[in-house]
Structure 1
C-alpha cells in the first residue's frame, strides 16, 4: 500500500495527504499497523464502519492485524479527533470518518448508516448543560425501515 491516499479527514476533503503526517499531527506515532488501517479507513471517502468490517478489509488486504488491534486503533483515532463514534444499534458501534457536524439515517435490517447534512435539521430548545459541563455536539439518528406493502 502507498504512504499517501486520496481521501478525506476533517477539512482536507479531496486532498492528497500523507497518512503518516496526519497521524503525527494528531499526536499518534505512525506505526505500520496504524498507517495500514488509516489507509483502508480513509481511502474510500466518508464511511461508517464497525470494528469487524475494518478487520475484514484488513485481512482481505493482507494486513496482519488482530480484531483487538483494530478496536484499539479505532479508539486511538477517535481520541485523536480523526474519526467519530456513532452508537446506533445496541452493542453495534460505527466509526465515522466524517468528523464535520452532521446527522445520520440508520436503515434497520440493512445496518446501513447514511449522512444527513447538519443544515437539513434544526435543533432548538436544548436543556442547559449541568454545572461545569458544555455540550460538545448533538447526534441525531433517524431510523428508517422498508415500507410494508
Structure 2
C-alpha cells in the first residue's frame, strides 16, 4: 500500500513538472496522505521528523514553495507571522480560529463575492481569498 502511494506521489510530481526526489516524495506523501489539510512549514517538518524522514526545516520550506509554484498546493497567509499551505487548490474560503491557530474550509457555495474592483489594464483577477476570523464568545 505504501509503495502504491509513493508511485502516486511520484506521478503527481512528474505531472506538475517536478523531479520526484526522495525528499519531495516523502514530504508529498506526508502532505497529501491525509486528504485536504492546512499545514505550516513547522508542522510538516514535525511530521517528517516523527516519521523518520531526515529533512531540514529549510528543505521543507523550499519544497512547499516548489509545490506551490507547481500548482499542487496553495499559500494561505492568515497572519503576518504564519503562513499555511493548503492541499485543496479548488476555489474556496476559510475560517481561522484565533487563539487555536486552526484553519477550516468554507465551501465556495456558502459565500458570494460581488462588486469586485476592475483590475488594472493588462491584469486579471486570479483568485479571491476570504479569511473569516473566529473567536470563542466572551461569557
**How many corresponding residue pairs?**
139
Distance 1:144 1:52 in 2: 23
Corresponding position of 2:136: 146
Give the conservation status (yes or no) of the 8 Å contact 1:105–1:113: yes
Give distance in 2, aligned partners of 1:60 and 1:148.
Answer: 37
- Whole-Å separation in 2 of the counterparts to 1:68 and 1:54: 12
2:59 to 63, 66, 69: 69
TM-score by length of 2: 0.97
Partners of 1:63 and 1:134 in 2: CA distance? 40
1:128 is aligned to 118
Which TM-score applies when normalising by structure 1?
0.90
Aligned residue in 2 for 1:109: 99
Q: Give the CA deviation at 1:5.
A: 3.0
**8 A Cα contact 1:3 1:19, kept in partner:** no
Q: Determine the C-alpha separation between the residues in 2 that align with 1:5 and 1:119.
A: 31
More helix by share: 2
Distance 2:130 2:8 in 1: 32
Q: How far is 1:125 from its partner?
A: 0.5
How many angstroms does 1:108 deviate by? 0.0
The runs of 4+ residues in structure 1 deviating greater than 4 Å are none
- Given candidates 26, 38, 57, the residue that maps to 2:16 is 26
Question: How large is the RMSD of aligned CA atoms in angstroms?
Answer: 1.4
Indicate the residue corresponding to 1:4 in structure 2. Answer: 4
- Report 1:79-98 matches (<5 A): 79-98=69-88
Give the secondary-structure state (helix, strand or coil) at the position aligned to 1:146. Answer: coil
The Cα shift of 1:4 comes to 3.2
User: What is the distance in 1 between the residues matched to 2:60 and 2:49?
Assistant: 11
